[in-house]
Amino acid sequence: MNYQNTLAFAQEQDQQDPLKHFKDRFYAPQINRQDAIYFCGNSLGLQPKSAQMYIDNEMYKWANLAVEGHFKGEEPWFNYHELLKAGTARVVGAKESEVVVMNQLTVNLHLMLVSFYRPQGKRYKIIVEGGAFPSDQYALETQTRFHGYDPDEAVVEIFPREGEHTLRTEDIIQTIKDNAEELALVMMGGINYYTGQVFDMEAITKAGHEVGAIVGFDLAHAAGNIQMDLHNWDVDFAVWCTYKYLNSGPGGTSGVFVHERHGNSADLHRFAGWWGHNAEERFQMKKGFMPMAGAEGWQVSNGQILPLAVHRASLEIFDEAGMDNLRAKSEKLTSYLEYLIDDLKADKSVLEVITPRDPKARGCQISLLVKQNARQLFDTLMAAGIIVDYREPNVIRVAPTPLYNSFEEVYQFSDILRECLRKC
């Protein structure tokens, strides 16, 4: 597409956008008594207006049915999580039996590591991208130590080449090969939170399996952002949160994927709980854990109904919009942002884009490495009505989200950024 740095061009793109009406389905935060330009969906998604109705429905049941709400009414709480399976499977490219919504992300990561990080003999190492999100780092550090290993030896971090900001797929695969005989697990983010880089999950999974390792992903920044095909990519397991691109509220619930080949595996260790037990016999209260088939067998506790209700509201919007359509708009919107930033002609000694230039190799995020007065620039943008995200030591993450952001907002951001750069 031939982009133009004009308001008229941006407005024309919005008029042609088949998803433009979804913006009205979300609440917008206010700055200076005006709707802010919200480019922070990679940290916390906006609230769907329908979420309140879904919560009110469950509050009404709680008020009028109390404990009987577990079994009475049109949508009993006992199997409420099942209402989310189809939409969740469509978001991540899975079979319904391979997904379940439960707990929160890092709890689910630990539950998955109990089952899928099983060091034996000389196979004990885990490969992860360098500078992974702290939750992942801490989980891997403590899991390896739990098994009696030194994390500095057991966790192999892959960093970009000198002078580069993102990882090359060939370097990831070569690291897997170099550690082939000692590798137990490849555990990476689907998208790097800092740079916005999309990793080639299919190629990484294939390379991991070829050397006999298990492969899993943290999809916190990928779910609801990019198209995925976890089942056909042969991924072993994945976890994600729902409060970022999936717009399901602060501290919202989490999703889990377990490939169907593991769903009924009796030899996998797991930390079991009541809600993962065979549903037909759950209330017989007997000893002896018998897991439900598929990902549901990893459930520990009964569903958190209010967070599940919010997530249900969001998933219905995703089903209406369609991941194909959302991804198509995302690539155009982010490419337009990249074009406008380039058109500022800021010197690399001041500002540098560290997100991949290939639209297929990034989500809806552009990360700006700000080399002078980074925090001041961030504060100036916020004061001007632009809500973005700051990551230490000097990166500003800008995430135009296709469900509720527009081309005109991207144009306005670039105009304001130009002025802010002059002030800083």
Q: Is the model's pLDDT at 180 over the cut of 90?
A: yes
Residue 312, pLDDT score: 97
What CATH number does the domain located at 54-319 have? 3.40.640.10
Return the structure tokens found at 376.
Answer: 């001041």
Q: Is the model's pLDDT at 424 over the cut of 80?
A: no
Q: What's the whole-number mean pLDDT along residues 375-386? A: 95
309-363 pLDDT, tens digit per residue, is 999 999 999 999 999 999 999 999 999 999 999 999 888 888 999 999 999 999 9
Do the Cβ atoms of 194 and 367 come closer than 8 Å? Answer: yes
7-42+323-423 sits in which CATH class? alpha beta
Q: For residue 226, give the DSSP letter.
A: S
Q: What's the whole-number mean pLDDT along residues 405-417? A: 97
- Tell me how far apart the terminal alpha carbons of the chain are, to the nearest angstrom: 32
Q: How much of the chain exceeds pLDDT 90, in percent?
A: 91
225-240 pLDDT, tens digit per residue, is 999 999 999 999 999 9
- As a whole number of angstroms, the distance between CA 170 and CA 165 comes to 15
Q: Is the model's pLDDT at 266 over the cut of 80?
A: no
Q: Is the model's pLDDT at 133 over the cut of 90?
A: yes
Domain boundary assignment for the chain: 7-42+323-423, 54-319
Strand bridging mode 37-38 / 34-35:
unpaired
Mean pLDDT rounded to a whole number for the chain? 96
Output the CA–CA distances (angstroms, integers) from residue 279 to 28, 298, 304, 395, in the order listed. Answer: 41, 13, 17, 48
Site of tokens 């079991």? 272
Q: Is the model's pLDDT at 285 over the cut of 90?
A: no
**pTM flag (> 0.75):** yes
Residue 221, pLDDT score: 98
Residue 283, pLDDT score: 83
77-113 pLDDT, tens digit per residue, is 999 999 999 999 999 999 999 999 999 999 999 999 9
26-51 pLDDT, tens digit per residue, is 999 999 889 999 999 999 999 999 99
